[in-house]
Structure 1
Amino acid sequence: MDGEVRINPYLSGNFAPVRSEDDFDLPVTGEIPAGLRGTLYRTGPNPQFQPIDPNYHWFTGDGMLHGFRVADGKVSYRNRYVRTPKWELEHEHGRSLFAGFNPMLSDPLTAGKDGGVANTNILWHAGRLLALEEGHMPFEVAAGTMAPKGYAEQYKGKVTAHPKIDPKTGEMVWFGYGVGDMPLSAGMSYGVTDAKGVVTRRSDFQAPYSAMIHDFLVTENYVLFPVLPLTGSLERAMKGLPAYAWEPEKGGHVGVMRRDADVSTIRWFNVPACYVFHPMNAHEVDGKIVAEVARYDAAPLFPMADGSPGLRTAARLTRWTFDLGANSDAIKEEAIDDLDCEFPRFDERLAGGAYRHGFYAGDTTNAKSVKLNAIAHLDLATGKRQVHAFTGGDMTSEPVFTPRSADAPEGDGWLTAVVYRAAEDRSDFVVFDALDVAKGPIGMAHMPRRVPFGFHGNWVAD
């Protein structure tokens, strides 16, 4: 109706920001395993001030880190903003200045200034804790305190929020997209950081078109770049239309390259229009690459190119097979699960290799949204699935796997996650036995307030 105030869904409910920085010791129920020692770090968008873009998108909020420190069956919590140059500039002026996906709305004070938000992932590599967001370089923070250390300048440009760490070599393999002088370009980079934290490679190439390329796949010998039709267009944005939009007529492409090869050797495979935010893992077998991905029929959360609303759709686990010896560049697709899902994870000691156990956040309600109410385990060898569904409107984060010990069998360990308790408007840190998800949490630590919905996290062992 006329005069109705539109509430941005990304600024309400458990998407709404929490602006206090706190330190809590948390009461525990059940049992937090004595062998679980370390910190679950998570990050997500948490705008410091009311956004200036009335169409504020969840992906563009300031990064806030949440750390759940676990030792001797006890859990403590600390959260801090990632004090990026953007955060510092807006903090100085006491208001929002950057406008996310629509730079036309940004304040003139932002001209020439860095707008990175470090809000998507956080991981440990080579003795550094890195907060990541795909439009900028990694931003280093101090382990424990989360105090800012600044951009890792050696990367010299954009780095994905989803690097892969090779468990055999200790290398961090990564990419960047939208690389080049022009925003929303089709330029990409492929990069490698060695086990000591030194960037040893950054090679640039052109994708078939400009797209939001959130994640990618790495095997022992290959790297795969999915260029799927959630397209970027500066020309479109300058007309007041969406910077990123779903354009299925462009089809999908996945570039496959040997990790030690030149980028000129990339072979582009084709797949019908679909979208993947997150793969689970990929490995090589008999001259083929086999990958498990969370596949959408259409990109969620984004509009069509003409600005009309996008489609409501959910992801399902799908197996992609690339036959490297065949004359065809078609990708074979096979559905392997029928539960709506997101945030697939696995035992990352097997990253890039053959594996059996996968874990993910699921939705048993068919809501087709990013709000997920279940934790699931899928045995890829048998196809058997275990699910624990939370009730009463409670929602879970991505489950993060931690092995019981360095040499424990695959999947022998724990899943940790953060669950929003809707009726109480607060959150819990939960621990599952990874191979007995159906039993439900074996231990919980209770927050006095909520942790807003976020993206990714990783466990950093003591």
Structure 2
Amino acid sequence: MERRQLLKTLAAGTALTAVPLKGFAGQAITSSKDSLAVTKQLFDKALSSAPELIGFKGATKPFNKTALTIEGNIPKDIQGCFYRNGAARHERAQQRYNHLFEGDGMIQAFHFEEGNIYHQGQFVQTSKFKKEEQAGKFLYSGPDSQIQGALPVSSPDDINTANTNIISVDGKLWALWEAGSPVALSADTLQTHGVVNLGENSRFGNKLKGLAFSAHPKIDPKGDIWNFGFSPSGHIVLFHLNAKGVTQNVNMIKTNYKGAMLHDFLITHRHILIILPSLVLDRTKSGFFGAINYDANLPMDVLVIDKDTLTLKRQYKVAPGFAFHYGNAWEEPNGTIHFDACLYRDANALHFMKNIMQGDQMAGVAPAKTTLYSLFPDGKYKEEQLEGSADFPRIHPSKVGIRNQYLYSTGSTEVEFWFDSVSRTNMGSGKVDKYVYGKDFVVEEHIPIATDENEDNGYLMGTALHIPTKRTCLNIFHANDMSQGPICRAWLPYHIPLGFHGNFVAKS
């Protein structure tokens, strides 16, 4: 797209809203019962007999800085802070959101300081959160939760929950959501500074305000940030930022994708990969997420986009599927592109996020499986699925966009509810090194901690909820010997809400 036309389109905001704002403009509840009150009643009843649900209860206040109880030894070469983000404020005034993705974001920080680990947790003080906190009730409708007499929404940032991921950019933290701007916070205090103007200090000025900026940016080995923003209209905005968070280039592509849900993407050293899943909208169903269906006859489209120009270069069609998350992509000198996906063959995992808010664990979700793809220059492709369940894939940070030897993921081994294990897969040999926490734990995303560029070195770090004691623990593994279990386990005296994604920021 010509730059002048791009800027004109961005300034007008045409078709770039990432959520259908019309659905949030104070619609009345059509049922005689308050669906959010019913959701709370159902969850509370289920929680009384299913203690494993405690991680989805949410929080009502921040967590002050607290020292953890250490088992084992903290590695001396881990210096910095581990941050996690997730939906945490699910309930107000006897109402409970209908979908897990709707809750207000809370940042969990685990500070490594002088041989100790300290935890603090703080809600992201978005405009929405502050207004509802003051009112003591929900004021805005969510994608699947309609509030009677809800306040009107003029921009996605009016309802920005900043609840999905957290990255470090030029000394600050950016809390990320799917549908609006990043929200900047202090790395030390978690104090919220406000929404980020992605055009600041660049030629784009204020023209990028309020655009969708996905929760899964890719940071390449040089520190550059690549991302996309998706609109249900089918428009996708592509971003290239430098390591300081200053936008270098933006472009928009128009697709025919109408599935509403696009969560993650990939980069190689030359290209951006946007994978359009086999999702369609059923307009007869209520709610934004509730209307998303899986179409087993709809191939996935893989869009290959040039990183220099942010323009579409090639398109592949592969077998139907749906993935929340992708691990990595890389390409050979001859142009063959390889990538992996945590692939589902339906959309039940998305709807499970609604069922769990009512305390229903019997959702019948078939687990995702690591699926390897090769896209060949002649237009053909190859697909291979690995054994075992897998999601929340992570790689060594120095390998983003280039060939990686190992892929880390969480999975389900002994239980079907959430995750109970972590593993490292050798992408060359297929060998899996795995640790199973067991039925007493609910396991969250684990991330590799790099000590140098050698993938065989370093650690794996992640949190887990211990159901019997209702406490959260932080666990540290040797990356090359995970089956031996954590070398350090640090216990909180309480549990924190189960979250989505996080990153470790090394001390400079």
Unpaired runs of 5+ in structure 2? 1-37, 199-207, 356-361
Per the alignment, residue 42 of structure 2 pairs with 6
Per the alignment, residue 15 of structure 1 pairs with 56
| Counterpart-to-counterpart distance in 1, 2:368 and 2:145 | 30
State the SS of the aligned residue for 1:210: coil
Q: Give the superposition deviation at 1:366.
A: 5.7
State the SS of the aligned residue for 1:6: helix
| Counterpart-to-counterpart distance in 2, 1:108 and 1:376 | 44
| Counterpart-to-counterpart distance in 2, 1:54 and 1:66 | 22
Deviation track 1:308-363 (CA, whole Å, cap 9, x = no partner) reads: x986211111111111x20x3x542111x311111111101111001101111121
Measured at CA, do residues 273 and 189 of structure 1 come closer, stay the same or move farther in structure 2, by a change above 3 Å?
same
Per the alignment, residue 273 of structure 1 pairs with 320
Aligned residue-pair number: 441
Per the alignment, residue 140 of structure 1 pairs with 184
Give yes or no for contact 1:163–1:175 (8 Å, CA) kept in 2: yes
**TM-score scaled by structure 2?**
0.81
| Counterpart-to-counterpart distance in 1, 2:152 and 2:132 | 9
- Given candidates 139, 153, 168, the residue that maps to 1:97 is 139
Matches within 5 A, 1:188-337: 188-211=236-259, 212-232=261-281, 235-236=283-284, 242-263=290-311, 265-285=312-332, 286-303=334-351, 312-323=365-376, 325-326=377-378, 328=379, 330-335=380-385, 337=386
| Counterpart-to-counterpart distance in 1, 2:335 and 2:288 | 47
| Counterpart-to-counterpart distance in 2, 1:87 and 1:231 | 31
| Counterpart-to-counterpart distance in 1, 2:187 and 2:109 | 10
Measured at CA, do residues 372 and 440 of structure 1 come closer, stay the same or move farther in structure 2, by a change above 3 Å?
same
Per the alignment, residue 227 of structure 2 pairs with 174
Q: Give the superposition deviation at 1:187.
A: 1.4
Per the alignment, residue 165 of structure 1 pairs with 219
Per the alignment, residue 17 of structure 2 pairs with none
Q: % of aligned pairs identical?
A: 26
Q: Which deviates the most, 49-58 or 278-287?
A: 49-58
Per the alignment, residue 402 of structure 2 pairs with 353
- Given candidates 440, 448, 459, the residue that maps to 2:485 is 440
Per the alignment, residue 181 of structure 1 pairs with none
Q: Give the superposition deviation at 1:6.
A: 2.8
Task: Kindly indicate whether residue 79 of structure 2 is the aligned counterpart of residue 37 of structure 1.
Answer: yes
| Counterpart-to-counterpart distance in 1, 2:161 and 2:330 | 32
Give yes or no for contact 2:68–2:119 (8 Å, CA) kept in 1: yes
Which amino acid letter does the alignment assign opposite residue 177 of structure 2? E
Task: Kindly indicate whether residue 135 of structure 2 is the aligned counterpart of residue 88 of structure 1.
Answer: no
Q: Give the superposition deviation at 1:69.
A: 0.5
Give yes or no for contact 1:193–1:199 (8 Å, CA) kept in 2: yes
Measured at CA, do residues 302 and 277 of structure 1 come closer, stay the same or move farther in structure 2, by a change above 3 Å?
closer
State the SS of the aligned residue for 1:399: strand
Measured at CA, do residues 316 and 259 of structure 1 come closer, stay the same or move farther in structure 2, by a change above 3 Å?
same
Q: Give the superposition deviation at 1:52.
A: 8.3
Q: Give the superposition deviation at 1:303.
A: 4.8
| Counterpart-to-counterpart distance in 1, 2:490 and 2:401 | 33
Q: Give the superposition deviation at 1:109.
A: 2.3
Give yes or no for contact 1:296–1:316 (8 Å, CA) kept in 2: yes
Measured at CA, do residues 366 and 391 of structure 1 come closer, stay the same or move farther in structure 2, by a change above 3 Å?
closer
| Counterpart-to-counterpart distance in 2, 1:29 and 1:195 | 37
- Given candidates 173, 187, 193, the residue that maps to 1:129 is 173
Give yes or no for contact 1:43–1:63 (8 Å, CA) kept in 2: yes
State the SS of the aligned residue for 2:55: helix
Q: Give the superposition deviation at 1:36.
A: 0.5
Per the alignment, residue 505 of structure 2 pairs with 460
Give yes or no for contact 2:296–2:345 (8 Å, CA) kept in 1: no
Give yes or no for contact 2:92–2:136 (8 Å, CA) kept in 1: no
Give yes or no for contact 1:356–1:381 (8 Å, CA) kept in 2: yes
| Counterpart-to-counterpart distance in 2, 1:409 and 1:143 | 27
Deviation track 1:173-232 (CA, whole Å, cap 9, x = no partner) reads: 000001xxxxx3211111111123211222112222123110001000000001112335
RMSD, matched Cα:
2.6
Q: Give the superposition deviation at 1:400.
A: 1.0
Give yes or no for contact 2:84–2:503 (8 Å, CA) kept in 1: yes
Give yes or no for contact 2:397–2:450 (8 Å, CA) kept in 1: no
Deviation track 1:30-70 (CA, whole Å, cap 9, x = no partner) reads: 00111111111001111263388766110111000100001
Q: Give the superposition deviation at 1:100.
A: 1.7
Per the alignment, residue 114 of structure 2 pairs with 72
Which amino acid letter does the alignment assign opposite residue 218 of structure 2? K
Measured at CA, do residues 54 and 122 of structure 1 come closer, stay the same or move farther in structure 2, by a change above 3 Å?
closer
| Counterpart-to-counterpart distance in 1, 2:271 and 2:493 | 46
Per the alignment, residue 205 of structure 2 pairs with none
Q: Which of 1 and 2 has higher RCO (CA within 8 Å, sep 6+)?
A: 2
Task: Kindly indicate whether residue 70 of structure 2 is the aligned counterpart of residue 28 of structure 1.
Answer: yes
